[in-house]
Amino acid sequence: MDEVLDEVVPTEDLKKYEKVYHEQLSSGNITQKAQFEYAWCLVRSKYSGDIRKGLILLEELFHTDKEESKRDYLYYLAIGNARIKEYNKALQYVRGFLQIEPGNHQVHDLEVVIKRRMEKEGLVGVALTGGIVLGIAGVVGLALALAKKK
């Protein structure tokens, strides 16, 4: 399962979707499809700068796109944050997601992988306090608002 955090986007794919996105950017009409495809590649880059860029694009999509797509953005926000070792944030997105879909095995698996990494890197204590405090105010709130709208 660690593979979902370790696999790296092929450079030519990143370039391809980057080009589409930038073309749309300069013509002033960015589709959600192009933005998502580019962001999905960015968060699988080996450079943390790319991943951070991808996270910004995903957050924007999360706030603007339709309800049914939000699960995709939450999931990749968790993946991207975990990849740059922002484990607490990643877990907030995971928990936010599981508020909406408690039984989702894909996201449960991701949670297991993230926690194992934190343990390996000696970050477990930090996770418990930080996660809860920020979690309530942050993503979980968003997710709850989302669930109510359904």
User: Which residues fall within 8 angstroms of residue 13, CB to CB, at 6 or more apart?
Assistant: 41
150 binds other proteins (CB under 8 A): no
116 binds other proteins (CB under 8 A): yes
Q: If you search the block for the tokens 């700068």, which residue do you land on? A: 49
Q: How many CB atoms within 10 Å of residue 126?
A: 13
Kindly report the three-state secondary structure assignment for every residue of 100-134: HCCCCHHHHHHHHHHHHHHHHCCCHHHHHHHHHHH
Cβ distance 61 to 42 under 8 Å?
no
Q: Which of 26, 27, 28, 105 binds other proteins (CB under 8 A)?
A: 105
Q: Which stretch binds other proteins (CB under 8 A): 56-64, 86-94, 97-105, 138-146?
A: 97-105
Q: Which stretch binds other proteins (CB under 8 A): 53-61, 86-94, 103-111, 121-129?
A: 103-111
76 binds other proteins (CB under 8 A): yes
Q: Footprint of other proteins on this chain (CB under 8 A)?
A: 1-4, 9-10, 13, 17, 33, 36-37, 40-41, 69, 71-72, 75-76, 101, 103-106, 108-109, 112-113, 116
